[in-house]
Amino acid sequence: MKLNVNNLPYGVLRAFLTPFLMLAFRPKVKGLRNVPAKGPVIIASNHLSFSDSIFMPLVVPRKVTFLAKSEYFTSPGPKGLLKKLTFIALGQVPVDRSGGRRSEAALITGLKVLAEGDCLGIYPEGTRSPDGRLYKGRTGIARLAIESGAPVIPVAMSNTDKIQPTGKVIPNLHRVGMQFGKPMYFDGDSTDLLYLRDVTDQIMNVIQAMSGQEYVDTYAPKKSKPDDINVAGEED
């Protein structure tokens, strides 16, 4: 049996962090049985805090893969190595942007993850919410769902913005909430922009119904130095 070195940091982080986080933040989880045990699946979540990418994967019984800029994996020196190991430990994979637009590169990488039968985590808003409201989803998630045939599991995170507000390193102690919705399946024409918008809106409507967030029908404002890869694709 071949040992996958890239899975070592992920396994170590999960083994050590899970008991601590379960005790300290007492996650309240609903609908986890909706996540299939095997096969390709897209987990689509609202995005309130960096800690979303820590809490949710530790609760899901299978590895959740997120996409990150390739620069995070190639920085030189000890600091660069630490950054690489941290992102690997969080289940993130690099996106090769050498071939063109960031969103298209992310789409290709995401389809590769799903083609291998793995679980892909996506934040349809494209970035963290700046104010706790739910912003308009970007349509890359619709393309991924249609072209891969993978079910979409909508997820509503709660309280992670209170646990780790933007810019805060040491988290506050609050109970984190997660609700996993029923699988959503889509097929059709992935080149039809109106249909892509409709599919994306359907997913966002379910997330909003579960989270209870106020919905904003505009895209979330981008940070000057975004740390999330926009899988959603309408624009960079």
Is 52 among the domain residues? yes
Give the model's confidence band at 51: pLDDT under 50 very low, under 70 low, under 90 confident, else very high.
confident
What's the domain range around 83? 29-164+173-215
Q: Is residue 195 predicted with pLDDT exceeding 60?
A: yes
Is 15 among the domain residues? no
Is 225 among the domain residues? no
- Give the total number of structural domains in the chain: 1
Is 158 among the domain residues? yes
pLDDT of residue 7: 57
Is 150 among the domain residues? yes
Q: Is residue 59 predicted with pLDDT exceeding 50?
A: yes
CB 97 within 8 A of CB 70: yes
The number of helices, as runs of H, and strands, as runs of E, in the chain is 7, 9
Chain mean pLDDT for the chain: 81
Give the model's confidence band at 2: pLDDT under 50 very low, under 70 low, under 90 confident, else very high.
very low
Is 93 among the domain residues? yes
Q: Tell me the C-alpha distance between 212 and 136, whole Å.
A: 15
pLDDT of residue 159: 85
What the block records as the tokens of 100 is 């063109």
Q: How many residues does the chain have?
A: 236
Is 54 among the domain residues? yes
Q: Tell me the C-alpha distance between 211 and 182, whole Å.
A: 14
Q: Tell me the C-alpha distance between 214 and 229, whole Å.
A: 24
pLDDT of residue 126: 86
pLDDT of residue 236: 36
Higher pLDDT, 107 or 10: 107
What separation, in Å, do the N-terminal and C-terminal C-alpha atoms of the chain show?
A: 41
Q: Which of 44-48, 61-65, 81-85 has the lowest mean pLDDT?
A: 81-85
Is 148 among the domain residues? yes
Residues 202, 207, 213, 218, CA torsion sign = negative
Q: Residues with Cβ < 8 Å from 52, sequence gap 6 or more?
A: 45, 46, 123, 157, 160
